[in-house]
Structure 1
């Protein structure tokens, strides 16, 4: 072979000569990509040189993948670079052992991260701006310059903003947001322009509503090594061996120490195979099982009374006439509405429950109370303690009655209750499965009740798991301040309010949490904030998805009146804020790290209803996803190895993990920061050319369009290309990491959190972050007696809101799964796939090789398949009253009859024919999630919003007609 040929010529010859010999993917894919410069041309004597080349490199950079792995991991990787290209990555194996007693965190990573060097150069990569030609979704594009694209987008933005309002521009924020440099750009843009960001937490089904109802927050979780201290681990509502690959070893290693793992799931999933006991259950009936366990705990006298009296609302009194808590304001003139009452056994009389602390301070609250009290107007009313009412409710959930609901035998229910009450430390996994069921809030409340009754909260190795999230707390300071010099001045405006609230008895957590709620109410006169709104509510109202639930009253949802009445009441009362309002259609949508046409349940409705309203749809991504196919512009984003940033993580792996730029962006790609900065510069330029200066937001705030670039970049201090500088500023402004400098962190790649972040999405963990031990959430509440951010200031099981009263959900209860989509015999359950993280890897060739099928498939039980004449690998049509789609059938012995399972994230274009898995999931709103006007049932960042429900979708399937398949 000639040694003088260029790379392209060599590869053509090598392909012919070597046949099936595998060439490194970075070499093959580089031939189809635009040159980034003029790297040295390697000289190869033969195939051995190609092989040896894999084991030489120019540099190694620490990086990670800024995607929503969430429960699974956020892992540091060694990224190998040669000739200006990334050609492989390896897991970083340098996580220090916390202490000799605990397993360490090495290695951290999975096959998805291990293939990104191939993914970033595959044929789906785009490297220059593209503009739609012809109708949306037509698949025809033309290459345009950045100047052309940004000028058109900027002019449309100015037209819309001046003519219709600042709130007509929508930022579709998806699971790829980093809460770092990318969000610093979007956050500053939204703050300065009062454009709207969509909170996707509820919209992807991660709302954890029942956790919010109980704890007043959703974000709290332990570090994964804390499971090593557990005596009993419940795999309940998740499949962590499948979906938490890097930390699955903590669960299995805990068994060496003597821990028992019990898996409760409808299907015999991979986690069940690693458990000591698998308890099969009917899908969506977990609440009945949980309440049966609670029934036994109470009836057998196994309640940890000291914990329950101090930490929960069980001793608090409730009026029987109104079904509302008894307050001090009910009893005396001038009494406070936030002072709750209990019955003190020591004095045998009414006392105010402790307010500033959970410490009982000499009180001896009674749990079993039923008596009468005299109100301030002389009226006598019956009052009962929450515990008294709870015992009455639990009477309906004996093991024998629960068996009829959930399918678990009385003997097994009693065994499980006995195991839970006979060990010291019980924990469960953190997942977001239950909240994807229509009545998942009730299930979460019922499960949390088990842990509260047994005192398994806030102790090492024990605890109910909330939603895991940690993020550095410098991002808010960077986003909200005019310049870095004015950070103290900006946040100083809040000091009087903070001081006033602390003096009134509110906690630091309550104050910080309310900052996240303020973002959902635009126009705050005290401090200018970015504006967010519920993604679920936005798609439902502005996107037309609510139209899919026009027959919802026939689906046995358990509502007391038509579903639409609850929505109208909530919107009219402002309980759930919707930005922009119902009568103001959005006009521009910019999709950042998102893919709503793949993700949203009932997403086809968005194309029909929302898309015609939008004058511009702009997708920022490094590939053309399902949403990109219907965009007007696709702006090429540099993926993670081509930029520097830092990102949120979770307490499960409490290490801030960064990306350090390994290579220059390919072609004309820009970072998220660079694109948003360039767009703001063009808006400013075009505004000046068109003599547009300042407009008013709907709430009266000034939006300065002719200085947008200057203001966003802090007068040029942070320009396009300054990603590293922005990341450094965010890091330095935060208080969570002080031991390493930014440069030291980039070299190492990760750093353990040193303290609790003081920002809305993370402060709920309420615990220390010890250097030499596991992280135990909620210890500030349990150990230090700090009140919870609920209306009762305790772990709360009684929710005194009119909607909850009307729907009989004042206390946890079981409601059978509804018939969403129609009266069909099968339930379509789902879960996170092992071979992808959302849709980013779903069409990756390497991941598809590992799949059971390289295209969309549904797992079906052998009995259900045989009854319909369907064999393994047959193409089936899945249908209900809402829609249909086609996929392959994977006949599985692990599924129970009546259950089907479809793993998530398949792109629309991977389905054969019209429709996809979202076509049969209308996801009706749950009325209680529309509640508001209540101290802790308020929409805020990541919580208090409506969720989506696909696990209750009812379907049937049939073998697809041969002619249909051929077509």
Structure 2
């Protein structure tokens, strides 16, 4: 009714008063309530979650009305926790609560799109040619190829149809497989746990055709190499509920309330029971407001602070006043008692490798793998013993791979000695020191590069008759920390105020800026609490510390504190590392589905960081010599300068994988071998030796070795994680870019010796880039084909996290809008088109697959003393020993679709497993045939269980995984028991008859079952905590010693001075001086350290273009800087600024704040370049994003392989994409140019939004 009539009808509205006039009763129109009620009415509620890699994995109610999603709210029906713990809910965050905006927004991808120049070429070619020949005619013509590649990122998409895009993609794939090889078809998708069926869809397709899946955890720089080094585990961490069991928490570089919003309540709730909390962050982050103490070291110097903490803990609790608990823990669960050989030098000795049974007479009675069994001194017998649990006991024998306090011969009880101090002999041992190195922007603490310190030793006779000296890791640790033990000599400190000795609280104060008093206080409190509570001290750490070049030194520093205090594996204690949503809990059920292990093995997998470093030619612009980071104890003449050389040697040695593998199509390699009458493996080895066949990495600019087709799904590679973004645009895509850096040829720098150099680097290597997304992201803008995928409320999938023990569904509350399809349906369609197109092009082919020396397999014992590159050493390559394993895999290409949609026979024949254990799965396969039904059509899949829908795929995962099937869990624990000789099945028998189905998790979140492939327990009495089963079930860590390792003894770890943890300053990337002052705009410039933390208004790049989040924030890219730095260059809050270096440039508005430390500038990660981004003055192109100013720099120690825990595994170990050592030039912009003319950059076309055209 009209407002005027309401005024007349309700002339007198006030009826009376109550509460002493504070309230009144009224009579008025209530018609407006109908509008309100209508807005919030709904037809149904569907449970779903967000697959956004936030680690939240929160359960949400999705409201549907008239077939439309109207809004979402948090679910509150999680299974309750124990009586002594707060419940998990409320879980959620503002970002998640805004997701429904995307579904009907203008950013939503509605139809398949193809880049206009490519589509025009395709349709012209198809008039006269078959699909495969049509594609070949385009990509083989340099002019045609350049015509569409150069337009990437320039807009110009045309609406297509699913039939047409599937035909183009299939034609490109068939041509690439046939002409160049299946290992030239690659795919990138991250973090399976956030939507595991969607990941599996693309990975299954790629694996079935022999394509390459790129790793992501290392590329994202979420992988902390310290975890594999110390524990032999990728990462395993406590659930957030276990924070509540802690009595002392350090939040170190983890902004809990901002980046762990759903879990932050545990952090605040634990304070009510008296737990002390400490924040360690360089800036005044939100987490600092929630803690009792805030320490703010200079960014990048955390390792020095951690080293000082360890100095105090070791001195006070291991030497001066000995903690019985700490010492007992150290003996049982760490390598501190293990003996290390000392190598004699001119000035004394240096620490070498672990003493092994093979070094001693008669192998100390050990017949199986004696070179992999470490040695310690037994206090009971006073003799040398080989304690059970070393990696040598894992393979080749059964029953002794456990860490009971027994020796590995007769099994008698032992008590290991930590120190040889009482033996009375000591020698001077040299330790490398890096903290005195000059860096323009980081303080140095002067000191000798080689620090000589006296260490207790024992002399013994080796098997070959040589005399040798050995020391325990405990004694080496004490010396490395600079503690005076009364042995005399220099470079040791008797008190904490000696700033001249590396490791003391006074020493770290010079580097970090943290007062020695605070350092002593926190170390003392942390250790004292752990001593009294038996390990209930915890460190919550985020990705920040892992983004530096020397990331492992940062992480090993804080891990050392935890091991010294007996915290790992104890409830309420340990290492709580939270980055991406890496915990794919039902992993063993997912693996065969995702990588096609039910049909063929092994799959092709590639280390993502090395792949992008090589193929985006970032190596051509390398400025850092590896000699800069070698140990002063190393012989530099034995080591090349260029880091690509190390990567190539690592690939040849089987340490890292290769993609593409060889400089010839692997299908052709097997044909050539057959023509030569030789087995394929023998043929390859002969050809590698005579030089007629080479690894592709040796010729990165040879067109024969280019990756050709790339799929990107569930990822914004070019808008978020792509380090060296501008190099990727230039070399991979061949389009406009902001690279200002000259390559090694033009600059005259040192070039790699193992790779062929060509003067002009190849550009535009990728022939086809296909991206699946639900929104028009930066990656979509640079793709050739864009496929609209279903949102998280429009598809069926599953989601797990390390933050809680539940498994959640993504559910299709509505059908996908417009022409969107789920990832499973998209790849199923591509597989169908590929199979049909393979007829007459590809048949049943033999594909040679190279596989590195893998962790959790006997291959990790390949090189007991470090090995060498067969080619540079001049010896014959031996697969599985000094070069990759080689396997011939049969590919039935026309049957790809049938295989994609059914469960293959290898699970019946070979069983299933993970992390080195295996079990029978015949019963589960039979059950899946009953549940999903079997295939009736003739062909390879006849009689096999169907996997036609995403729910079918989810049921495969749930049925095969021990975490979701109690019968499988019991079998898995029994399989582990055969290795350890201990019965572990009691951990799963209470839930033996529990089985979780997809409909179960749609009804309510379900808690998973304990599995031997994880190191914690899902139990009603303890919260999940990593290392719990190692400590309480005596299951070894998967390391050389079987224990947590302070000491790393590989020859490369020695060469780089990283046997023990120590502070290493940030590297100098040399990208600022090259451009500073060279492109003036009239405003002053300043060089600042480039920091990219996780943001408040988005999860990675998702939500950064969401109108609700843009409204709550400043709306567009922003960069935070300190008031001090801003004043120096005349920048005020909200000014437009430019940040640039030799790698590229970006534009943003300045946020000037006193909470930011001087010398650093922060751009919160993944603010896309598609919203409010003007042109950059330095590059004359549109400003980039946070990775436009970065470039990947590899670390050789992350390439080590075939060496127990330092062996490659997909997303487990390998080179990591760091970026925080980078610096940028910051200046105020003199002109803000939006580049919004009708002829931007002379390219033509209207820059304003236009309706999507339907034809060319």
Structure 1 residues 299 and 720, CA gap change in structure 2 (3 angstroms): closer
Matched, 1:450 2:561: yes
Aligned residues of 2:627 and 2:641 also touching (Cα < 8 A): no
Q: 1:126 aligns with which of 89, 109, 128?
A: 109
Structure 1 residues 706 and 966, CA gap change in structure 2 (3 angstroms): closer
Distance 2:1049 2:628 in 1: 26
Corresponding position of 1:10: none
Distance 1:637 1:784 in 2: 45
Tell me the CA shift for residue 892 of structure 1: 0.8
Give 3-state SS (helix, strand or coil) of 1:136's partner. coil
Q: CA offsets, 1:51-100, max 9 Å, x none?
A: 32222111110111122112xx1011110001111110110011232112
Output aligned runs, 1:823-842, within 5 Å: 825-842=1087-1104
Larger radius of gyration: 2
Corresponding position of 1:952: 1221
Tell me the CA shift for residue 710 of structure 1: 1.0
Corresponding position of 2:405: 360
Q: 2:777 aligns with which of 611, 625, 633?
A: 625
Matched, 1:709 2:897: yes
Give 3-state SS (helix, strand or coil) of 1:962's partner. coil
In structure 2, the gaps of 5 or more residues are 3-29, 118-150, 344-350, 390-400, 407-412, 421-456, 483-501, 662-696, 700-704, 734-763, 850-887, 903-940, 966-993, 1074-1085, 1176-1181, 1237-1256
Distance 1:840 1:480 in 2: 27
Tell me the CA shift for residue 858 of structure 1: 0.9
Q: 2:206 aligns with which of 178, 190, 205?
A: 190
Q: 1:382 aligns with which of 442, 452, 469?
A: 469
Tell me the CA shift for residue 274 of structure 1: 0.9
Distance 1:553 1:451 in 2: 31
Q: CA offsets, 1:393-412, max 9 Å, x none?
A: 10120111111121111111
Distance 1:568 1:712 in 2: 34
Aligned residues of 1:59 and 1:80 also touching (Cα < 8 A): yes
Matched, 1:310 2:332: yes
Corresponding position of 2:525: 419
Corresponding position of 2:48: 63
Q: 2:1166 aligns with which of 905, 919, 922?
A: 905
Q: 1:883 aligns with which of 1131, 1136, 1144?
A: 1144
Structure 1 residues 475 and 576, CA gap change in structure 2 (3 angstroms): same
Matched, 1:644 2:796: yes
Distance 1:310 1:735 in 2: 29
Structure 1 residues 306 and 166, CA gap change in structure 2 (3 angstroms): same
Distance 1:557 1:113 in 2: 46
Bigger Cα displacement from structure 2, 108-117 vs 460-469: 460-469
Distance 1:387 1:616 in 2: 55
Matched, 1:724 2:951: yes
Tell me the CA shift for residue 198 of structure 1: 0.8
Q: How does the TM-score come out when normalised to structure 1? A: 0.87
Tell me the CA shift for residue 354 of structure 1: 2.4
Corresponding position of 1:319: 341
Q: How does the TM-score come out when normalised to structure 2? A: 0.67
Distance 1:221 1:596 in 2: 26
Distance 2:377 2:481 in 1: 22
Structure 1 residues 159 and 46, CA gap change in structure 2 (3 angstroms): farther
Matched, 1:148 2:409: no
Structure 1 residues 452 and 147, CA gap change in structure 2 (3 angstroms): same
Output aligned runs, 1:45-84, within 5 Å: 49-70=34-55, 73-84=56-67
**RMSD, matched Cα:** 2.3
Output aligned runs, 1:110-509, within 5 Å: 110-134=93-117, 135-175=151-191, 178=194, 180-302=196-318, 304-321=326-343, 323-333=352-362, 336-355=370-389, 356-361=401-406, 362-369=413-420, 370-395=457-482, 396-423=502-529, 424=533, 425-466=536-577, 469-472=583-586, 473-479=588-594
Corresponding position of 1:537: 610
Structure 1 residues 177 and 226, CA gap change in structure 2 (3 angstroms): closer
Choose between structure 1 and 2 for higher RCO, CA contacts under 8 A separated by at least 6 residues: 1
Q: 1:600 aligns with which of 716, 722, 733?
A: 722
Tell me the CA shift for residue 831 of structure 1: 1.1
Tell me the CA shift for residue 118 of structure 1: 1.1
Aligned residues of 2:596 and 2:603 also touching (Cα < 8 A): no
Distance 2:626 2:596 in 1: 48
Tell me the CA shift for residue 772 of structure 1: 5.1
Distance 2:950 2:649 in 1: 45
Aligned residues of 2:568 and 2:574 also touching (Cα < 8 A): yes
Matched, 1:932 2:1201: yes
Tell me the CA shift for residue 240 of structure 1: 0.8
Structure 1 residues 723 and 47, CA gap change in structure 2 (3 angstroms): farther
Tell me the CA shift for residue 917 of structure 1: 2.0
Distance 1:554 1:381 in 2: 30
Give 3-state SS (helix, strand or coil) of 1:942's partner. coil
Structure 1 residues 902 and 841, CA gap change in structure 2 (3 angstroms): same
Give 3-state SS (helix, strand or coil) of 1:86's partner. strand
Tell me the CA shift for residue 922 of structure 1: 1.4
Aligned residues of 1:67 and 1:177 also touching (Cα < 8 A): no
Distance 1:93 1:962 in 2: 51
Structure 1 residues 140 and 481, CA gap change in structure 2 (3 angstroms): closer
Structure 1 residues 704 and 177, CA gap change in structure 2 (3 angstroms): farther
Matched, 1:745 2:1000: yes
Aligned residues of 1:66 and 1:176 also touching (Cα < 8 A): no
Matched, 1:570 2:650: yes
Distance 2:166 2:717 in 1: 23
Tell me the CA shift for residue 530 of structure 1: 2.9
Corresponding position of 1:754: 1009
Bigger Cα displacement from structure 2, 695-704 vs 176-185: 176-185
Aligned residues of 2:809 and 2:1002 also touching (Cα < 8 A): no
Count of residues in correspondence between the two structures: 872
Q: CA offsets, 1:562-591, max 9 Å, x none?
A: 233323332332322122132421110011
Q: CA offsets, 1:33-62, max 9 Å, x none?
A: xxxxxxxxxxxx997544322221111101
Aligned residues of 1:167 and 1:697 also touching (Cα < 8 A): no
Aligned residues of 2:1072 and 2:1087 also touching (Cα < 8 A): no
Distance 1:213 1:535 in 2: 19
Give 3-state SS (helix, strand or coil) of 2:711's partner. strand
Tell me the CA shift for residue 481 of structure 1: 6.8
Give 3-state SS (helix, strand or coil) of 1:799's partner. coil
Corresponding position of 1:698: 848
Aligned residues of 2:549 and 2:1067 also touching (Cα < 8 A): yes
Aligned residues of 1:285 and 1:406 also touching (Cα < 8 A): yes
Give 3-state SS (helix, strand or coil) of 1:429's partner. strand
Corresponding position of 2:1105: 843
Corresponding position of 1:781: 1030
Tell me the CA shift for residue 212 of structure 1: 1.5
Structure 1 residues 734 and 387, CA gap change in structure 2 (3 angstroms): same
Tell me the CA shift for residue 548 of structure 1: 3.7
Q: 1:810 aligns with which of 1055, 1059, 1062?
A: 1059
Corresponding position of 2:930: none
Tell me the CA shift for residue 751 of structure 1: 0.9
Q: 1:528 aligns with which of 601, 611, 620?
A: 601
Bigger Cα displacement from structure 2, 586-595 vs 189-198: 189-198
Corresponding position of 1:520: none
Distance 1:481 1:871 in 2: 56
Aligned residues of 1:309 and 1:365 also touching (Cα < 8 A): yes
Give 3-state SS (helix, strand or coil) of 2:518's partner. helix
Aligned residues of 2:1166 and 2:1186 also touching (Cα < 8 A): no
Corresponding position of 2:739: none
